[in-house]
């Protein structure tokens, strides 16, 4: 099956074609970062309007890249949620109407299922079962994954998501929006031991996360130290988040008895996190799987893949156009 994937949950328009026999055929992404920069965050109405403008040209671009026409598409997968309601509706409407005109099925995909299956786009793909760490701008989750649609929540964020903590900390260091990657770059030139920030909730057996308190510690340290030491502050913050995530992942592997760890979501692109997880898991004889950095952040390929696996297994839905801004991953069922 050749499945067109459509991702519009937030501020990137992502389109891709995934072929269940030959793998990923083509993908393209339009990021709205420049559009929202002046506002310090995503403006939902601007995001929706931009998706409307970008969607069809990107579909044409991806089909041309894959040397296909619309008639060669066997199914369409779109992000149904979670995400911004207006942004979700643009992708859902495109997917459902295009599928209607082509007389092919369209299927809504859970955005986080897309993230957690993204490592299956790589070679070698992880085998089920595994533990998944999803760390994005909106979520920090540890899930036990027995198979597609067989998800058990192990740990959740009590306040800020990991990516949100990166973005908010970047903002208070004057690094703009979205600040996560900029903060990670600044941290490279700092000393991670110069400031010692707390590793939240690592002194308790829970697999939940809490990152909001760190921000305050960083703010106080940054004010006291002055701008010339911001690189050290950034390095100290990044080390605290990474240590906390690594500690929780290793504990989740121990508790679940799984031998494989999958890392996904935007913060999965963080180089220090990738290195430390690799080292920590190796010490326990466990394997870690990451998507390439471009498939850690939002993209159409992960939605095409997740939808293709479900469509190929025979899953279908009616022609209603659906967008679900809040959606619990653990309520999903196998195809």
> Using CB under 6 A as the criterion, which residues of the chain lie in contact with ligand KG4 when the complex forms?
10, 136-138, 163, 166-167, 178, 180-181, 184, 265-267, 269-270, 297-298
State yes or no: residue 113 binds Zn ion (CB under 5 A).
Answer: no
Nearer to Zn ion, 87 or 173 (CB): 87
Nearer to ligand KG4, 73 or 84 (CB): 84
- Least distance from Zn ion to the Cβ atom of residue 299, Å: 9
- What, of Zn ion, ligand KG4, none, does residue 3 touch, CB below 5 to 8 Å by kind? none
- Least distance from ligand KG4 to the Cβ atom of residue 67, Å: 29
Nearer to ligand KG4, 10 or 309 (CB): 10
Site for Zn ion in 270-329 (CB under 5 A): 298
State yes or no: residue 167 binds Zn ion (CB under 5 A).
Answer: no
- Least distance from ligand KG4 to the Cβ atom of residue 241, Å: 8
End-to-end Cα, the chain, rounded Å:
15
Q: Which stretch binds Zn ion (CB under 5 A): 71-79, 128-136, 159-167, 205-213?
A: 128-136
- What, of ligand KG4, Zn ion, none, does residue 281 touch, CB below 5 to 8 Å by kind? none
Q: Do residues 9 and 92 touch, judged by C-beta distance below 8 A?
A: no
Position among 13, 79, 93, 136 found at the interface with Zn ion (CB under 5 A) = 136
- Least distance from ligand KG4 to the Cβ atom of residue 74, Å: 27
Nearer to ligand KG4, 86 or 163 (CB): 163
- What, of ligand KG4, Zn ion, none, does residue 269 touch, CB below 5 to 8 Å by kind? ligand KG4
Nearer to ligand KG4, 140 or 217 (CB): 140
* Chain centre to alpha carbon of residue 140: 10
3-class SS string, the chain: CEEEEEECCCCEEEEEEEECCCEEEEEEEEECHHHHHHHCCCCHHHHHHHHHHHHHHHHHHHHHHCCCCHHHCCEEEEEEECCCHHHHHHHHHHHHHHHHHHCCCEEEEEHHHHHHHHHHHCCCCCCCCEEEEEECCCCEEEEEEEECCEEEEEECECCCCHHHHHHHHHHHCCCCCCCHHHHHHHHHCCCCCCCCCCCCCCCCCCCCECCHHHHHHHHHHHHHHCHHHHHHHHHHHHHHHHHHHHHHHHHHHHHHCCCEEEEECHHHHCHHHHHHHHHHHHHCCCEEECCCHHHHCCCHHHHHHHHHHHHHCCCCCCCCCCCCCCCCHHHCCCC
CA dist 159 and 290 (Å) reads 25
- Least distance from ligand KG4 to the Cβ atom of residue 72, Å: 29
Nearer to ligand KG4, 66 or 245 (CB): 245
Q: How many CA atoms lie within 13 A of 28 on its CB side?
A: 14
- What, of ligand KG4, Zn ion, none, does residue 276 touch, CB below 5 to 8 Å by kind? none
Nearer to Zn ion, 93 or 136 (CB): 136
- Least distance from ligand KG4 to the Cβ atom of residue 270, Å: 3
- Least distance from ligand KG4 to the Cβ atom of residue 307, Å: 17
- What, of ligand KG4, Zn ion, none, does residue 14 touch, CB below 5 to 8 Å by kind? none
Strands 75-81 and 23-31: unpaired
- What, of ligand KG4, Zn ion, none, does residue 15 touch, CB below 5 to 8 Å by kind? none
Strands 130-135 and 75-81: unpaired
State yes or no: residue 140 binds Zn ion (CB under 5 A).
Answer: no
* Chain contacts with Zn ion (rule: CB under 5 A): 136, 298
């Amino acid at each position: 099956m050749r499945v067109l994937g459509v991702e519009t949950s937030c501020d990137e328009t992502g389109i891709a074609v995934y072929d269940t026999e030959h793998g990923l055929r083509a993908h393209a992404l339009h990021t709205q970062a420049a559009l929202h920069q002046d506002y310090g965050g995503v403006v939902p109405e601007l995001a929706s309007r931009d998706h409307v403008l970008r969607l069809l040209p990107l579909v044409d671009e991806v089909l041309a890249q894959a040397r296909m026409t619309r008639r060669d598409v066997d199914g369409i997968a779109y992000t149904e949620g979670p995400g911004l309601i207006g942004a979700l509706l643009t992708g859902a409407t495109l997917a459902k109407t295009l599928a209607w005109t082509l007389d092919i099925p369209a299927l809504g995909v859970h955005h986080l299922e897309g993230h957690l299956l993204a490592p299956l786009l790589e070679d070698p793909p992880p085998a089920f079962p595994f533990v998944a760490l999803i760390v994005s701008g909106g979520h920090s989750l540890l899930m036990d994954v027995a198979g597609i649609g067989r998800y058990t929540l192990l740990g959740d964020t009590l306040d800020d998501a990991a990516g949100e903590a990166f973005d908010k900390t970047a903002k208070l260091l004057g690094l703009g929006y979205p600040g996560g990657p900029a903060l990670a770059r600044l941290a490279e030139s700092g000393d991670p031991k110069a400031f010692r920030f707390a590793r939240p909730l690592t002194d308790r057996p829970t697999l939940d996360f809490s990152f909001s308190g760190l921000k305050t510690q960083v703010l106080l340290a940054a004010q006291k130290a002055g701008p010339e030491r911001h690189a050290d502050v950034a390095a100290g913050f990044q080390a605290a988040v990474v240590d906390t995530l690594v500690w929780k992942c290793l504990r989740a592997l121990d508790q679940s008895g799984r031998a494989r760890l999958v890392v996904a979501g935007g913060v999965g692109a963080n180089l220090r996190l990738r290195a430390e997880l690799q080292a920590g898991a190796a010490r326990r004889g466990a394997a870690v799987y990451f998507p390439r950095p471009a498939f850690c952040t939002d993209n159409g390929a992960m939605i095409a893949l997740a939808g293709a696996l479900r469509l190929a297994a025979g899953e279908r839905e009616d022609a209603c156009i659906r967008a679900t801004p809040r959606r619990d991953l653990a309520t999903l069922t196998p195809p």
